[in-house]
């Protein structure tokens, strides 16, 4: 019997059907927000996993001039770096009709990553107080955004009582991830969002999700999403 506290895992047989489903959900939600309030705010990850979703979403007609786009996390590097998540967003999502959207980067050329995080928080607050739609990915270690196991900022990022903010994440110690300083949104951004979609691929990631979902909400991000009633939709394909 399905645990009512756990989100259902929606399964798709192919990468194509998986990416079409996620892009369709994001299109529906962002278009509705534009119609209802005249603007929409979307946050998504970098990496290769969301690329087919972004390529589909970029071609939709949702009133992109009224949409602001940001990242759920970013490496503390400029867009010229191949490690930049902003670079992927610009190259894959902000094309065609979606090129009319306003991009709000998390990276700022500041003295420290914490100062850059404070500036990113101010920039996001200028375009909206909540995300209408969020797309998340998940690492093999169960991390989402830049909420990494053993990170000294993990408990703060997962604190449900803070205001939505962007935090600096130091590089991991003794070989732990991340290898580069990062910026990350915190759990309250996800708690206040209108729709949150977690896209995962392959049998290994499904097993990680199921393990993490039963974990400690203070230390395991997936468990924190569930415990704090984030409006989470888990969309999975067996195609890795």
Distance of CA 49 to the CA centre of its chain: 12
- SS3 track for 54-90: HHHHCCCCCCHHHEEEEECEEECCCCCCCCCHHHHHH
Provide the 10 A C-beta neighbour count for residue 122.
11
Full-model pTM: 0.96
Q: For residue 234, what is the DSSP state?
A: E
**The token pair that represents 96 in the structure block:** 């065609």
Which pLDDT belongs to residue 1? 46
Give the separation between CA 44 and CA 197, rounded to whole angstroms.
10
Give the separation between CA 95 and CA 48, rounded to whole angstroms.
16
In a 13 Å sphere around the CA of 119, the CA atoms on its Cβ side amount to: 13
Give the separation between CA 106 and CA 73, rounded to whole angstroms.
7
> Per-domain residue ranges for the chain?
9-237
Distance of CA 12 to the CA centre of its chain: 21
Which pLDDT belongs to residue 3? 62
Torsion sign over Cα 165, 37, 88, 147: positive
Which pLDDT belongs to residue 4? 56
Which pLDDT belongs to residue 77? 95
Q: Which residues contact 130 (CB under 8 A, 6 or more apart)?
A: 41, 164, 189, 192, 193, 194
Helices (H), 78-213: 85-88, 113-127, 154-157, 187-191, 202-213
Mean pLDDT by 10 residues, the chain (240 residues): 73 97 98 97 94 97 97 96 94 97 94 94 95 97 96 97 97 86 98 98 97 97 97 95
- How far from 83 is each of 87, 175, 215, CA to CA, in Å? 8, 18, 30
Q: Which CATH number fits domain 9-237: 3.40.50.1360, 3.10.310.30, 2.60.40.420, 2.40.50.100?
A: 3.40.50.1360
């Amino acid at each position: 019997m399905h645990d009512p506290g756990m989100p259902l895992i929606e399964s798709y047989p192919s990468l194509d059907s998986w990416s079409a489903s996620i892009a369709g959900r994001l299109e529906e939600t962002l278009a509705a927000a534009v119609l209802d309030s005249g603007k929409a705010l979307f946050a998504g990850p970098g990496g290769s996993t969301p690329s087919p979703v972004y390529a589909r979403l970029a071609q939709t007609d949702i009133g992109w001039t009224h949409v602001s786009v940001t990242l759920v996390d970013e490496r503390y590097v400029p867009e010229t770096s191949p490690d930049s998540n902003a670079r992927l967003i610009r190259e894959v999502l902000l094309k065609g009709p979606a090129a009319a959207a306003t991009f709000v980067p998390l990276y700022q050329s500041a003295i420290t990553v914490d100062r850059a995080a404070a500036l990113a928080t101010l920039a996001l607050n200028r375009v909206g107080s909540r995300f209408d739609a969020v797309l998340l990915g998940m690492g093999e270690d169960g991390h989402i955004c830049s909420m990494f196991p053993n990170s000294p900022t993990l408990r703060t990022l997962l604190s449900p009582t803070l205001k939505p903010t962007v935090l600096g994440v130091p590089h991991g110690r003794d070989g732990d991830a991340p290898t580069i300083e990062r910026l990350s949104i915190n759990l309250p951004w996800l708690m206040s969002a209108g729709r949150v979609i977690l896209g995962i691929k392959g049998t290994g990631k499904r097993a990680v999700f199921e393990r993490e979902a039963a974990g400690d909400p203070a230390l395991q991000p997936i468990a924190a999403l569930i415990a704090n009633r984030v409006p989470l939709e888990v969309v999975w394909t067996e195609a890795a």
